[in-house]
C-alpha cells in the first residue's frame, strides 16, 4: 500500500473509532437525561480529546499546583500526546490522526473533482487569514497560561460546568443553534473551494503544533543534485510549501503528510532526516503513532485515564447541564 493510502486508512480507522466513542458517549448522556430510563453505557474517556480548552486549563493547573486533573484526565493526556509528538515530528497528528483533518481533506478533494481545481486564496487575503488561528491561539494562551492564577485553574477544572462540558459540547452539535448551522455551512463551503480552509486559517490547535514543531529534528530534505525540478512536490503539497526550492522544509505548515515524497519521481531527491540519519517515510509515521499511543497506554496503566466523577454526581449534574456556564 502506498503512503497516502496508508495514511487515509489510519485516518479512517481513527475516525471510525471516534465515531463509535461519540455514539457511546451519546448513550451515556442519554441515560442520565432520561433519569435512568435509557440503559446505562460506560463513559468513553477518549471523548475528552474534543475539550482542548479544558485540557489547557488542566495543564496550567498541573504545572502551577502539581495536581493532575482527575475530572478529564484523558483530555489532558491526549493534549500532552499531541504536543509531545509535535516536538519530535512536527504536525503528523494533523495528517494522520485528526478527524477534522480527514474531513477537510475530503472536502477540498470533492471540490477539486467538482470544480476542476481548488483556486488559491489571493495572497493578501491568505496572509491576513493566516493570522486568525494565531490570534485565537494567543488569546487562549494569554488568558489561561498567563492571566489565570493556578488556584483558579483548579477551581475551573473541578467546577460543575467543567464536569459536564463534554455533555454540553455534544448537545452543541446534536442540537445546533441556527447561528452554528449557518457558520458550519459557510466553513464547509469554503473548505470545498479552498484547500484545507479550516486547518490553514482557523485551527488554533494546528497553530500550536506548528510552533512546537519548529523544534522537531525530523524534517523533509531535498537534494539539489538529484532534483530534476519537475515541481510535483510543490504542486501537490497541501500546505502550499515550495518544496522544490527548499533545502530543508522548515515551514510551520508542514503536516508530514509525505505527499511530496510519494509524488517525487526521483527516489533520492527527497527524504526525511534528523541530522545525517535518514528515516523511511512509513517508519516516521509508525514512530509517531507508536509514541502517541505509548503515552496513552502509560496514562491508562498509571491510572490517569478514567474520570473520577462518580455515577451519582453525573446523575445530578447531567440533567441540569443546560444551566451551567463558566
Give strand ranges (E) for the chain: 219-222, 270-274, 277-279
Q: Is 258 in the site for ligand SF4 (CB under 6 A)?
A: yes
Q: Is 212 in the site for ligand SF4 (CB under 6 A)?
A: no
Render 22-72 in DSSP notation, one character per residue.
Answer: HHHHHHHHHHHHTTT-SPP----GGGGGG-HHHHHHHHHHHHHH----SSS
Task: Name the residue nearer to ligand SF4 (CB basis): 127 or 235.
Answer: 235
Q: Is 318 exposed, middle or buried (0-12, 13-18, 19+ CB in 10 A)?
A: buried
Question: Which residues within the stretch 217-256 sit at the binding site for ligand SF4 (CB under 6 A)?
Answer: 220, 222, 227-233, 237-239, 241, 243-244, 249, 254-256
Query: Taking contact as CB under 6 A, which single stretch among the options 140-148, 186-194, 258-266, 300-308 is the one that binds ligand SF4?
Result: 258-266
Q: Is 148 in the site for ligand SF4 (CB under 6 A)?
A: no
User: Residue 262 Cβ, how far from ligand SF4 at the closest point, in Å?
Assistant: 9
**DSSP type of residue 158:** T
User: Contact with ligand SF4 (CB under 6 A): which of 192, 269, 285, 296?
Assistant: 269
User: Residue 290 Cβ, how far from ligand SF4 at the closest point, in Å?
Assistant: 19
User: Residue 251 Cβ, how far from ligand SF4 at the closest point, in Å?
Assistant: 7
CA 99 to chain centre: 8
Q: Is 104 in the site for ligand SF4 (CB under 6 A)?
A: no
User: Residue 232 Cβ, how far from ligand SF4 at the closest point, in Å?
Assistant: 4
Q: How far apart are CA 121 and CA 127, in angstroms?
A: 9
Q: Would you state the torsion angle of the CA atoms of residues 126, 132, 133, 139, taken in this order, to the nearest 10 degrees?
A: 160
User: Contact with ligand SF4 (CB under 6 A): which of 51, 257, 284, 285?
Assistant: 257
Task: Name the residue nearer to ligand SF4 (CB basis): 19 or 286.
Answer: 286
Q: Is 102 in the site for ligand SF4 (CB under 6 A)?
A: no
Total of chain residues touching ligand SF4, rule CB under 6 A: 29
Q: Is 56 in the site for ligand SF4 (CB under 6 A)?
A: no
User: Residue 32 Cβ, how far from ligand SF4 at the closest point, in Å?
Assistant: 43
Note whether 211 and 91 are within 8 A (CB): no
**Which residue do the cell numbers 451519546 mark?**
26
The two beta strands, 270-274 and 277-279, are antiparallel
Q: How far apart are CA 274 and CA 88, in angstroms?
A: 10
Query: Taking contact as CB under 6 A, which single stretch among the options 5-13, 139-147, 259-267, 284-292 is the one that binds ligand SF4?
Result: 259-267
Note whether 318 and 164 are within 8 A (CB): yes
User: Residue 98 Cβ, how far from ligand SF4 at the closest point, in Å?
Assistant: 14
User: Residue 94 Cβ, how far from ligand SF4 at the closest point, in Å?
Assistant: 9
User: Residue 84 Cβ, how far from ligand SF4 at the closest point, in Å?
Assistant: 20
Give strand ranges (E) for 143-276: 219-222, 270-274
Note whether 105 and 238 are within 8 A (CB): yes
**DSSP type of residue 145:** I
Please state at what angle helix 281-301 crosses helix 3-33, rounded to 10 degrees. 30
Task: Name the residue nearer to ligand SF4 (CB basis): 57 or 258.
Answer: 258
Which H, E and C letters describe 288-306, residue by residue?
A: HHHHHHHHHHHHHHCCCCC
Task: Name the residue nearer to ligand SF4 (CB basis): 98 or 257.
Answer: 257
Q: Is 86 in the site for ligand SF4 (CB under 6 A)?
A: no
Residues that bind ligand SF4 (CB under 6 A): 220, 222, 227-233, 237-239, 241, 243-244, 249, 254-260, 263-266, 269-270
Amino acid at each position: 500500500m502506498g503512503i497516502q493510502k496508508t495514511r487515509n486508512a489510519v485516518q479512517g480507522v481513527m475516525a471510525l473509532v471516534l465515531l463509535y466513542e461519540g455514539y457511546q458517549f451519546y448513550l451515556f448522556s442519554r441515560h442520565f437525561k432520561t433519569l435512568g430510563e435509557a440503559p446505562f453505557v460506560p463513559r468513553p474517556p477518549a471523548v475528552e480529546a474534543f475539550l482542548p480548552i479544558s485540557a489547557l486549563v488542566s495543564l496550567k493547573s498541573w504545572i502551577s499546583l502539581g495536581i493532575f486533573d482527575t475530572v478529564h484526565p484523558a483530555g489532558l493526556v491526549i493534549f500532552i500526546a499531541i504536543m509531545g509528538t509535535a516536538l519530535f515530528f512536527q504536525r503528523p497528528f494533523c495528517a494522520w490522526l485528526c478527524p477534522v483533518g480527514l474531513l477537510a481533506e475530503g472536502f477540498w478533494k470533492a471540490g477539486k473533482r467538482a470544480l476542476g481545481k481548488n483556486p488559491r486564496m489571493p495572497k493578501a487575503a491568505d496572509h491576513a487569514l493566516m493570522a486568525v488561528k494565531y490570534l485565537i491561539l494567543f488569546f487562549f494562551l494569554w488568558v489561561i497560561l498567563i492571566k489565570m492564577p493556578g488556584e483558579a485553574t483548579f477551581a475551573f477544572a473541578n467546577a460543575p460546568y467543567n464536569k459536564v462540558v463534554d455533555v454540553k459540547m455534544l448537545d452543541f452539535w446534536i442540537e445546533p443553534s441556527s447561528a452554528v448551522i449557518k457558520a458550519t455551512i459557510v466553513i464547509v463551503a469554503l473548505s470545498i473551494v479552498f484547500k484545507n480552509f479550516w486547518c490553514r486559517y482557523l485551527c488554533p490547535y494546528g497553530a500550536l503544533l506548528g510552533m512546537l514543531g519548529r523544534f522537531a529534528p525530523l524534517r523533509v530534505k531535498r537534494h539539489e543534485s538529484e532534483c530534476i525540478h519537475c515541481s510535483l512536490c510543490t504542486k501537490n503539497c497541501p500546505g502550499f510549501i515550495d518544496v522544490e526550492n527548499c533545502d530543508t522544509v522548515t515551514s510551520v505548515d508542514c503536516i508530514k503528510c509525505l505527499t511530496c515524497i510519494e509524488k517525487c519521481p526521483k527516489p533520492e531527491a527527497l527524504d526525511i532526516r534528523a541530522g545525517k540519519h535518514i528515516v523511511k517515510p512509513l517508519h516516521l509515521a509508525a514512530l509517531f503513532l507508536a509514541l502517541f499511543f505509548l503515552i496513552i497506554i502509560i496514562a491508562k496503566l498509571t491510572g490517569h485515564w478514567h474520570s473520577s466523577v462518580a455515577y451519582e454526581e453525573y446523575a445530578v449534574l447531567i440533567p441540569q447541564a443546560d444551566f451551567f456556564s463558566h
